[in-house]
Structure 1
Amino acid sequence: MRVSPTQRDLDPGQVRRFLTASLGSGAEVADCGPLSGGGFAAVWWVRLADGRDVVLKVGPPPHVRLLRYERDMIGAEARYLRLVAARAPGVPVPALLHHGRHRDLGDWLLTARLPGRTLWDLTRAGADVGPLRAGFGRALAAVHTVTGERYGYDGGRASAGTWREAYLAMVDDLLADAADWAVPLPVPASRIRDLVARHAAVLDAVRRPALLHFDGWAGNVLAVDGPDGTPRLSGLVDGERYLWGDPLVDLVSPLLFRRAEDEPDDPLVRAYREASPVPFDAGVRRRLGLYRLYLYLLMTVEMPSRNITAASDPGRVELLATLLDAELGDLAG
């Protein structure tokens, strides 16, 4: 059953229509089915008659309300895939086969399907994921070598000429979304703005807009077994939330609900710092705290737009409120 109104209800006939629009009338679908794990787009795997395995990602219907940063996210993922393929080719991302926009069909992507199981599934199965997490850390460091021209999001969304200004604009957009959707926050929005502004000067240490994946939770990391049977990185997927800014942002989602600076021996953290040294000094810790604040605020604000409630996802509201309160408390202290 579809949870989020941003996810279209697809059927095999509709999938065939998207494939024809992408690859032409000669594209024949042998089999297809939905993929789970995401909450924004509808995603289906497709086996073509010629043996190719592809993934179809379809954006929300035009009438569905979105958060401000979610505008044109399907197009954003297409741009991300092109960027990584051209400028960080050592990082395994799906090959972009087609990005389509159509008055009736909407916005969609067709990509090659990468092999492997997710880091999330492997972790739950008790596999040795240390080498995989290390490979993920090195891949993030490679992505971060790509430099943009501005900070923040592209496509007319929150951005600026400095990282401080872009971050403040991003927070302002989330707080505006919270007001639009009447999302309860643990403290008034004005209090969040004041605390963020008080510490925003630490963001001026960022002098280069690095390419950021931003959504590196374990469900977006794929692996196949290496020669020794240990899972190895085979893909980094779902780049639709990419932005430009401080590389430290990408040490938040991969250690969701944890603190990277408190776990320097985590394989991902250790491998990342070997490839891109960063000291966990007071300024870095403060920046990481601001980025966790942004992520937890985003996860809180998006709940109504996804039809997520305390009843449908027990404990999420309380957990995020606790985490937000902890980060705000650190800023206040």
Structure 2
Amino acid sequence: MSASPTRRDLDPARVRRYLTASLGPAGEVADCGPLSGGGFAAVWWVRLADGRDVVLKVGPPPHVPLLRYETDMIGAEARYLRLVAARAPAVPVPALLHHGRHPELGDWLLTARLPGRTLWDLTRAGADVGPLRAEFGRALAALHAVTGDRYGYDGGRATAPTWRGAYTAMVDDLLADAADWAVPLPVPASRIRALVARHAAVLDVVRRPALLHFDGWAGNVLAVDGPDGTPRLSGLVDGERHLCGDPLLDLVSPLLFRRAEDEPDDPLVRAYRAAAPFALDEGARRRLGLYRLHLYLLMTVEMPSRGITAESDPGRVALLAELLDAELADLAGSRR
């Protein structure tokens, strides 16, 4: 398990407390154990005495410092799950069973456990994941059909009346976090702000705040075997980082460390464009570049808060520095 300071230490006795607080007598635990994944929250699978399989996700302890956009992320996921269930029921997400807050236990979610293996595991095992990626692309298009009530985040986090304003506020918050945590960046923060300002007008084409998952990397996509043995989409999980804005933002994490505009025949990109057509023109390419800049900046800035250092994970540090520098160079060389 990760030594991330944001991840609470759980054990079976503590898990039982959360289940009792969530379900009362119906929360009797038969078995449980930790799930692997990201470093923000503690996530455990639980088999209840009545045979149900559920997932417990517990937020960080209240004294642990967080990045600005991470405020109330457990509550944000609860809001996301309710919204998707109500307005995009075709998108497979876990059923929300309980969202709890308690002075001692903190903030937590209890959801149904969706079946399946991750797209990440299937890809590494050499499975034919093309049809699954296409399903994922169509699910993203269905999610994006939901129109939010704002651009950016909810809950008092970075938001604005326009997508340009929200994106700029999101980057400004990350740069402020970088300063707070003394995170070294490839170039001065002022240079990043100047490049964003130089290209921000390209974001004004976005006139509707679409609901975005944001964190659609392969580890958050679940699949089960279909009747013919081909993996079929069974769930999209970990929606706590959701926001509202440009649908193109959701083509960055699913092609992590790659460029969607350079892979128009990727099954996900092709299926998404068939369901929600858009042109991969110069404006779209610059928007995608800005969104990769945002993601790589986020992944860089979050490292100290997760206990990650150049000594503990030199490969990640070097890779993100290279990717961030490349996006900054591309933006510096692009016309307005």
Report the TM-score, using the length of structure 2 for normalisation: 0.98
Q: What's the CA shift string for 1:24-65, capped at 9, x where partnerless?
A: 133210000000011100000000010000000000000000
Provide the residue aligned with 2:294 in structure 1. Answer: 294
C-alpha deviation, 1:123, in angstroms: 0.3
Distance between the aligned counterparts of 1:13 and 1:150, measured in 2? 41
Query: Quick check: 1:157 aligned with 2:151?
Result: no
Q: Distance in 1 between matches of 2:105 and 2:149?
A: 32
Once the two structures are aligned, what percentage of the paired residues are identical? 88
Tell me: CA distance 1:233–1:26, structure 2 relative to 1, closer, same or farther (3 Å): closer
Equivalent position of 1:96 in the other structure? 96
Corresponding residue for residue 61 of structure 1: 61
Shift of 1:293: 0.2
Counterpart CA distance in 1 for 2:112 and 2:311 is: 37
Deviation at 1:317, TM superposition (A): 1.1
Partner of 1:320: 320
Q: Which runs of 5+ in 1 are unaligned?
A: none
Runs of 4 or more, structure 1, over 4 Å off, are: none
| Shift in Å, 1:149 | 1.6
Q: 1:72 touches 1:155 (CA, 8 Å); kept in 2?
A: yes
1:230 aligns with 2:230: yes
- How far did residue 241 of structure 1 move? 0.1
Mapped partners of 2:290, 2:63: distance in 1: 33
Quote the residue 2:176 is aligned against: 176
SS in 1 for 2:173: helix
Q: CA deviation at 1:2?
A: 3.5
Q: 1:2·1:9 contact (CA, 8 Å) conserved in 2?
A: no
Contact 2:2 2:39 (8 Å CA) reproduced: no
Shift of 1:313: 1.6
Name the CA distance, whole Å, in 1 between partners of 2:39 and 2:267.
28
| 1:22 paired residue number | 22
- How far residue 311 of structure 1 moved from its aligned partner, in angstroms, is 2.1
**TM-score, with structure 1 as normaliser:** 0.99
Is 106-115 or 306-315 further displaced after alignment? 306-315
* One-letter amino acid of the structure 2 residue matched with residue 248 of structure 1: L
**CA–CA distance in structure 2, aligned partners of residues 98 and 123 of structure 1:** 33
Where do 1:252-267 residues align within 5 Å? 252-267=252-267
Q: Which runs of 5+ in 2 are unaligned?
A: none
Cα shift at 1:148: 1.0
For 1:134-189, what per-residue CA distance to the aligned partner results, in whole angstroms no more than 9, with x for missing partners? 00000000000000121000000000000000000000000000000000000000
| Aligned-partner SS, 1:43 | strand
What displacement does 1:255 show?
0.2
- The residue identity in structure 1 corresponding to 2:33 is G
CA–CA separation in structure 2 for the residues paired with 1:47 and 1:203: 46
Q: Give yes or no for the alignment of 1:303 onto 2:303.
A: yes
* Cα distance in 1 for residues equivalent to 2:330 and 2:118: 33
- Which position in structure 2 is the counterpart of 1:142? 142
